[in-house]
Amino acid sequence: MKAAALIVAAGRGTRVGGGPKQYRLLGGKPVLRRTVEAFLRHPEIDTVRCVIHPDDASEYAAAVDGFVLLDPVSGGRSRQDSVRMGLESLEGMAPDIVLIHDAARPFVSAAVIDACLKGLDAAEGAIAAMQVHDTLKRGDQQGAIAATIDRTNLWHAQTPQAFRFDAILRAHRSALGHELTDDAAVAERAGLRVVLTPGSHENVKITTIADLVDAESRVSEGQRICRTGIGFDVHRLGPGDRVIICGVEIPHDGALVGHSDADVGLHAITDAVLGAIAAGDIGTHFPPSDHRWRGADSSVFARHAAELVHARGGRIENIDVTIICERPKIGPHRPAMVAKLADIFGLQVECVSVKATTTEGLGFTGRGQGIAAQAATSISFALSS
C-alpha cells in the first residue's frame, strides 16, 4: 500500500443549510461523490476512505454508489478527532503516504494532488496553498483598523495535505486535546517539516450558500442538453427531367411535384429541425397557400429553421437523412448533398449523413410514383443554472 486518501466528511455543514453540504447536489451529483472521484481517478492514489458522521450512513452510501473504496469510518467531535480516527483506521494497512482532504473541496485537480505528492520528496508534509495577494488588516473590537499585516510569505492553506503516514499519525496522537484547525498545524506542532505546494483558485471549500451557488454555476458551465427531432416527407413524381433532393439537382425521367421545388430531403430535415425545438412544422412557417413559396428553393425553409434554432440558443449537432426511392440512384450525389447540407446548416461534413434505401419494389416508392425521405437531428442547448 503506497498512498491513501482520507476524505473528511464528518462535518454537519450548518452554514449552508439543507443538510450537510458534502451531500448537497452539484449539477445533480453529490459534492462528496465529486471529491471522492477526484482521488479514485488519480493514478498514484491506491485507496480512498471517508470519515463520516454516523447519522449520514445512508446519504454516504448513496453518494458513493458504484465506487470501489474502503468502508467509511465514523468521525469524532471535532475535525481533528475525525482525522485522527481516520488515520488510526488506516494503520493496519500501513500506507507510506496519506493525503487528508476536505469533502467540501470537490474541485481538487490532479495537478494539485500531484504537487502535494511531489512535495513529499523533500519533506514529511506538503500542503496545497495559495499565496495571499490581498492586503490584510487586523480590526479592533469596534471594526476599525488596528494594524496592517505584512502579507509577505503569507499563504492560504487548502487541502489536500499530504504526509508521511507514520509521522502524521504520531503527531495527531500527541496533539490529542489541542484544538488545531488543520493537519499541517498538527504536523508543525510535532516539529515536522511541511512544505507549501501550489493549490488552485478552483479548489475552494464550499462553506456558504454563496459558495454553493458559485459551484453550481461552475459545474453547469459547458454542460449541454440534447433534443432530438424527426421529420418525414413525401412528394409525388410527375412529368419532368430532374429532381432536387437535399439541394442537389439530379437528372431524372420525372420531376417531384410540389408547391415549392419539392425537395423531399430538405423538407424532411427542416421538419426534424423544427421538431427538435418544438416550433411546428414546415407548413406552419411556409403555408402552401402562400404564393411567395411557389417554386421556392427549399434551402430558404431550411435556413429559416436553422435561424430559429440559433435564436433559441441551440446548436445543431448533426443531421441524418434517408432518401427512400428505387430511382434515381442517390449514391453518386451523396457527397454533393452532404456538402450542400453542411453549408445550409453550418455543420462540419462529418456531422451530416445522407443515406438511401429502396423499398424492394414495394409501395408507392417501389412503383416509382413518389419519393420519400426521413430525417433526424440532435440540437444541443446550454444547461441553464
Q: Which chain residues interact with Mg ion by CB under 5 A? A: 233, 267
Rounded CA-CA distance 47/152 in Å is: 37
CB 10 within 8 A of CB 53: yes
Cβ closest to Mg ion, residue 267 vs residue 340: 267
Helix, strand and coil content of the chain, in percent to the nearest 5, comes to: 35, 30, 35
384 burial class (0-12, 13-18, 19+ CB within 10 angstroms)?
Answer: exposed
**Smallest gap from residue 376 Cβ to Mg ion (A):** 17
Q: Which is nearer to Mg ion, 59 or 233 (CB)?
A: 233
166 φ, ψ to 5°? -60, -40
Tell me the three state secondary structure of residue 94.
coil
Q: Report the residue number, 8 or 324, with the smaller CB distance to Mg ion.
A: 324
Rounded to the nearest whole angstrom, what is the least distance from the CB of residue 289 to Mg ion in the complex?
A: 14
| Radius of gyration, alpha carbons of the chain | 32
- Min dist CB 284 to Mg ion, Å, is 13
Q: Which is nearer to Mg ion, 183 or 233 (CB)?
A: 233
Name which of 165 and 301 has its Cβ closer to Mg ion: 301
- Beta carbon nearer to Mg ion, 98 or 256: 256
Work out how close the CB of 235 gets to Mg ion at its nearest, in angstroms, rounded to a whole number: 6
Torsions phi, psi for 4 (to 5 deg): -115, 145
- Ranked by CB distance to Mg ion, the top (closest) residue is 267
The CB-of-373 to Mg ion minimum distance in angstroms stands at 9
Amino acid at 290: D
As a residue count, the chain comes to 385
DSSP type of residue 293:
G
Q: How far is the CB of 352 from Mg ion (least distance, A)?
A: 20
Min CB(280)–Mg ion separation in Å: 14
Q: For the purposes of burial, counting CB atoms within 10 Å of the CB of 120, is it exposed (0-12), middle (13-18) or buried (19 or more)?
A: buried
In the complex with Mg ion, the residue whose CB is nearer, 4 or 269, is: 269
Contact present, 228 and 273 (Cβ < 8 Å): no
Rounded to the nearest whole angstrom, what is the least distance from the CB of residue 260 to Mg ion in the complex? 7
From the CB of 375, what's the least distance to Mg ion, in Å? 12
**Peptide bond just before 54 cis, omega within 30 deg:** no
DSSP 307: H
Nearer to Mg ion, 79 or 267 (CB): 267
Quick one: 32 or 319, whose CB is closer to Mg ion? 319
Beta strands 370-382; 314-324: pairing state: antiparallel
* Dist CA 4 CA 17 (whole Å): 31
* All three cell numbers of 153: 510569505
Scanning 238-357, the segments in alpha helix (DSSP H) are: 264-276, 282-285, 299-311, 334-345
